[in-house]
Structure 1
Amino acid sequence: MPTEEETVCKMNARNRRIVFQALSGGPSQRFDPGDPPDDGGEPRLDVWGFKDSRFTIDAANNVVLEGTRYPLSGQELPAFLPWLRSTFQADIKAEDIHPSLYPTRIPESCASEEILRALRAVVGEHLTIEPEQRLRRGHGHTQAEMYAIKYGHLERIPDVVVFPGSENEVIALVKLAEERSLVLRPYGGGTCVNEALRCPAEEERTIVAVDMGRMNRIRWIDPVNRMACLQAGAVGRLVVAQLAEHGFTIGHEPDSIEFSTVGGWIATH
C-alpha cells in the first residue's frame, strides 16, 4: 500500500501533467463546431430587446408579452399592473403614454471620402455610415442614454461603422488608425451601463466603431481539456446554445447574456 505522502506526490504529478496538457494544447480532440445557430434574434435599435417581442396592454387592461420567443410570450399578466400601482402608488393607465420620438436628431458623419476609401481597402463593403446604425454604436443602455435617443439627442456618435471579419483586418484597422489619427471604438452587443460607448462631444477626429459581429464563432472546442476558443464577437446566448449541442456550458451568465459578447465580458471583467 502506498503511503499518504506517496499518494499525494502521484496526484500532484498527475495534476501537473493535466495543466501542462491544457496549456500546450495536447493531447486534444479539438473540433470546429461550425457556424453559430441562427435563432432569428434581431435586436431593436431603440430599446432593449428583440424586434419580435414587446410588452403591450390589451383590451382587458392586462400586460401581454407579444411574440413567441419566450415561455411567457402570449400570456396575459393580470396581476402585473395592480402590483405596480400598489407598489409605486401610481395610477398607470394604458392610454397614458409618452410616445418615443426615436430617432431624434442624429449628427452627420464627419468621415471624409478619403477615409472611407482607406477603410474599404481593409474591410471591403463591410462598413456603413447609415445614421441609425451609427447612433446605435454610440450609446449603451444607461437610463440617460436611452432617454437621450428618444427625447433628446447625443452630440457625438461614431462617423462610420466597420465590420472586420478576421484578425488581420483588425490589425490593419489599428495600423490605419495610427496613420490617419482615427479613433477606434470596439463594439460588441452595446449593453454596457457605464457609458463606455458615449463619444466625447469635443472629439474632432473621425470616430470609427469597430463592430465585431462578423467575428462571432466558436473556433474550436476541446472536449479533452474542457477548453474552447471563442471570437470576441460571439454572442452569449448563441455560445450557450452551441456549447449545449456538445454537452458543455459556460460558467458566466450575466443579465445581458442575450445580447452581450465574449469581447464585452472580457473588457468589463
Structure 2
Amino acid sequence: MIQGVKQQKWWGWGEEGKAYQHADKPKFAPFVKRIVGVDINQPRMSPPPFESLDVPPSRLSEELRAEFQAIIGNKFVQSDDETRVVHAFGKGVRDLVRVRRGELGRVPDVVLYPGTEEEVARIVDSAIAADAVVIPFGGGSNIVAALEAEPGETRQVVSVNMGRLNKVLEIDAESGLARIQAGVFGPDMEDQLKARGWTMGHHPDSFVWSTLGGWIATRSSGMQSDKYGDIADIVRGLRMVMPGQILNLRPLPSTSSGPSVREMVLGSEGRLGIITEAWVQVHRIPEVRELQAYFFPSYGDGLRACQQIVESDAAVMMARVSDPMETQYIMANGKKSGRVGSLMSKAISKVMEAKGWDLEGICMSFVGFEGSPNHVRYEKGLVNKIVKANQGMGVGSGPGTLYDQKKYDTPYIRDFMLDHGLVADVSETTTPWAYAESLHTKVQQAVQDALDSRGKRGVVFSHLSHSYHSGACQYFTFAVADDSEDCLDTYDVVKRAIQQTFVDHHGTVSHHHGVGEEHSPWMAEDISEAGVFIQRKLFEGIDPGSNLNPGKIIHEGRPGISSNSSDA
C-alpha cells in the first residue's frame, strides 16, 4: 500500500475490520428468514486467506518496469500479489464471488501511482508505445466490470491508481467553481471544501470509496441530485490525458462549440484517456439541512407525490420513496427501540390502521431540505400539502436523521449476505413518469419468473432515487438464495431479466452505475445500432490500438466473455 492512498480489502467492500452487524437489529434475522428462507444466525462462510489464492505472476517486462520507475520512482511501481488482485476487480457481485473462489482472470501486471498530470501523460505514452493496456483506477467501487482486463488479454496490463492526485487546487468563489484533482475520494474532497465553507453536494452510495474521476467516468449521480444535479451537471471543465496529448476543457457555464467534447468524456470509462482534474460547481454550505420522513399507503401514491414535488416550487435536495418490500427491509434493519420509540411506532401504526392502510403495503419516503430557515420552512409547507393530497402522512425528522447517519453503510450488507449464501446486487434505470409505476411492476414479475425458472427463492425491492422534469430513476435491489457452485448462473438469469425489462419498457440500461461489460450487451437496444456505431468510431479514432480499457461500453458477447472468443 502507498501511504495516503486508501485501499479496499481484496475480498469485499470497504476497509478491513468493518462489517455489517445484525446483533442489535432484532427484526432483521426473522425478516430474512421469512422473505428468502435463509437463517443468518447460522455460522457464516468466511473468505479464504489471501495466501490460498493462486495469483498469476506479473508479465511486466523489465524494460517497461524500468521506464515506469524512471517516471514515478520505484516505490510507486507496485507488482506484489495483493495490490494487483485489489486492482483486478471492482465490487460487483460477480467480482466478489470470483475473487473469493480464486477465479482471478487477467490480473494487472503492475499498479502505478502517479503524483502529477505530467507523470500520467508519460505513463500513458510509455504504455502505448509498448502496446500495453491501460486501466484507470479510482476507489475500486465500480460494479459493472469496468476495471477488469479482458479475459485472454496477452498484452501487459497496467492499472493506474489516481489516489495521489487528491487535492482541491483552487476555488473561484465569485463563479462558484472549484478545481479539484481526479483521484480525491468523496469524504476527503468534502473535508477540503468544507474547511473553506463550500460543498459540491455530490453524495453517491459509494461516496466513501469512490473518486471524482470515477464519478465523471461513469456519469455518476448522488443522493442530493434533485438540488445539485448529476455529475454531468456539476462538472463544467476538465483535463484528460490522451495518447500523445492533453485535453483541456475550460469551465464555461454553457457553449455552442459543436458536438460536446465534455459530454463525450462523461461516462467514457477510461476509453478516451485518464481524467486528471476537473472544474466543478460548488455551493456555500447551507444554514439548515433537514430530512423529513413520510409514509404513503402505496408505492403509486409515493411516486405521484415525488413527481408533484419536482413540479412544484419546492426545490428539495432529495425526494425518495421506497416500495413496500424495501420499506419492510428498512424497518427490519432498525435497532431495538426504547420505550418511548416503541410507543411512538405503535401510535403511528394505529393511525395508519385507522386510515384503512394495509401495513404490509406502506411505503416510506424521505425528503431533504436545505437553505435558510425561512426557505426550508416554506418548502416543508409545500411538501406537506403535496403529501396529504396523495394520502400520505409525515412522521418527523427522526427516521431521516438515522438514514443520514447510516447511508454509506449499505454496501457492507452485501458482503454479509454473500457470507450466508445470498447473492445480492443492484440495477437502476430511468423512465418517463408515464411508465414509472408499470415498469416497477414488470421488473417484480420478471424477477419472480427468473427465480422460478431456477427453482430458487429471492426478493427484489426498489426506491425512486432521483427525479427529473420528465421522469425518474428507480433503484432496484435483488437477492437470490443460492449458495451452490452455480450461483452466478442464477444471478445472470435474474440480472438479465431485470436489464431486459428495462429496455423493453421505456428504461435505460443504467442511470448512474455506467456500462462496463455488465450492461454492454443491451447498448444497441438502448441507444440504437447507429448510436453504438458513433461510440465505436469515437473509441477507434482516439485509441486505434485498443490500449485504453478495451472491452468496456462497446463489448461483443456476454459479460465476462472476451469479445474475441468463439462465444461472442
Structure 2 residue aligned with 1:114: 63
**Inter-partner Cα distance in structure 1 for 2:151 and 2:39:** 39
3-state SS in 1 of match to 2:198: coil
Q: In structure 2, do the counterparts of structure 1 residues 42 and 157 end up closer, same or farther at CA, with 3 Å as the change threshold?
A: closer
Q: Give the one of 31, 46, 51 matched to 1:99.
A: 46
1:178 aligns with 2:128: yes
TM-aligned CA deviation for residue 102 of structure 1 = 4.6
Task: Deviation per CA, 1:218-267: give whole Å up to 9, x if none.
Answer: 11122221110111101112112221222211132111110100110111
What TM-score do the two structures reach when normalised by structure 2?
Answer: 0.36
1:156 aligns with 2:156: no
Task: Deviation per CA, 1:17-53: give whole Å up to 9, x if none.
Answer: xxxxxxxxxxxxxxxxxxxxx8x97632221022242
**Inter-partner Cα distance in structure 1 for 2:198 and 2:116:** 26
1:248 aligns with 2:213: no
What TM-score do the two structures reach when normalised by structure 1?
Answer: 0.74
Structure 2 residue aligned with 1:21: none
- What value does the CA root-mean-square deviation take over the aligned residues? 1.8
Asked if structure 1 preserves the Cα contact closer than 8 Å seen for 2:11 and 2:47, the reply is no
Asked if structure 2 preserves the Cα contact closer than 8 Å seen for 1:222 and 1:228, the reply is yes
TM-aligned CA deviation for residue 183 of structure 1 = 1.2
Structure 1 residue aligned with 2:29: 81
Task: Deviation per CA, 1:122-146: give whole Å up to 9, x if none.
Answer: 1112110011101111101111110
Task: Deviation per CA, 1:97-142: give whole Å up to 9, x if none.
Answer: 2221253221110012121111101111211001110111110111
The aligned amino acid for 1:91 is D
Task: Deviation per CA, 1:32-87: give whole Å up to 9, x if none.
Answer: xxxxxx8x97632221022242234xxxxxx25xxxxxxxxxxx222222222223
3-state SS in 2 of match to 1:210: strand
The aligned amino acid for 2:67 is A
Q: In structure 2, do the counterparts of structure 1 residues 121 and 181 end up closer, same or farther at CA, with 3 Å as the change threshold?
A: same
Structure 1, unmatched stretches of 5+, are: 1-37, 57-62, 65-75
- Aligned-pair identity in percent equals 33
Structure 2, unmatched stretches of 5+, are: 220-568
3-state SS in 2 of match to 1:55: coil
State how 1:120-131 maps to structure 2 within 5 Å: 120-125=69-74, 126-131=76-81
The aligned amino acid for 1:115 is L
1:239 aligns with 2:189: yes
Q: In structure 2, do the counterparts of structure 1 residues 52 and 249 end up closer, same or farther at CA, with 3 Å as the change threshold?
A: farther
3-state SS in 2 of match to 1:54: coil
**Inter-partner Cα distance in structure 1 for 2:6 and 2:146:** 24
**Inter-partner Cα distance in structure 1 for 2:7 and 2:88:** 18
**Inter-partner Cα distance in structure 1 for 2:17 and 2:145:** 27
Structure 2 residue aligned with 1:266: 216
3-state SS in 2 of match to 1:174: helix
**Inter-partner Cα distance in structure 2 for 1:195 and 1:48:** 15
Q: Aligned residue pairs: how many?
A: 213
Q: In structure 2, do the counterparts of structure 1 residues 217 and 191 end up closer, same or farther at CA, with 3 Å as the change threshold?
A: same
Asked if structure 2 preserves the Cα contact closer than 8 Å seen for 1:212 and 1:233, the reply is yes
Q: Which has the higher strand share?
A: 2
Structure 2 residue aligned with 1:51: 16
**Inter-partner Cα distance in structure 2 for 1:177 and 1:99:** 38
**Inter-partner Cα distance in structure 2 for 1:118 and 1:41:** 25
Asked if structure 2 preserves the Cα contact closer than 8 Å seen for 1:106 and 1:153, the reply is no
Structure scoring higher RCO (CA < 8 A, sep ≥ 6) equals 1
Q: In structure 2, do the counterparts of structure 1 residues 102 and 148 end up closer, same or farther at CA, with 3 Å as the change threshold?
A: farther
**Inter-partner Cα distance in structure 2 for 1:42 and 1:128:** 13
Asked if structure 1 preserves the Cα contact closer than 8 Å seen for 2:168 and 2:178, the reply is yes
3-state SS in 2 of match to 1:161: strand
Asked if structure 2 preserves the Cα contact closer than 8 Å seen for 1:42 and 1:51, the reply is no
The aligned amino acid for 1:153 is E
1:146 aligns with 2:96: yes
Asked if structure 1 preserves the Cα contact closer than 8 Å seen for 2:183 and 2:212, the reply is yes
The aligned amino acid for 2:47 is S
Asked if structure 1 preserves the Cα contact closer than 8 Å seen for 2:163 and 2:184, the reply is yes
**Inter-partner Cα distance in structure 2 for 1:87 and 1:166:** 51
The aligned amino acid for 2:12 is V
**Inter-partner Cα distance in structure 1 for 2:156 and 2:40:** 45
Q: In structure 2, do the counterparts of structure 1 residues 148 and 92 end up closer, same or farther at CA, with 3 Å as the change threshold?
A: same
**Inter-partner Cα distance in structure 2 for 1:42 and 1:211:** 10
Structure 1 residue aligned with 2:115: 165
**Inter-partner Cα distance in structure 2 for 1:254 and 1:45:** 22
With 200-209 and 238-247 compared, the bigger mean Cα shift is at: 238-247
The aligned amino acid for 2:26 is P
Structure 2 residue aligned with 1:3: none
Q: Give the one of 178, 182, 203 matched to 1:228.
A: 178
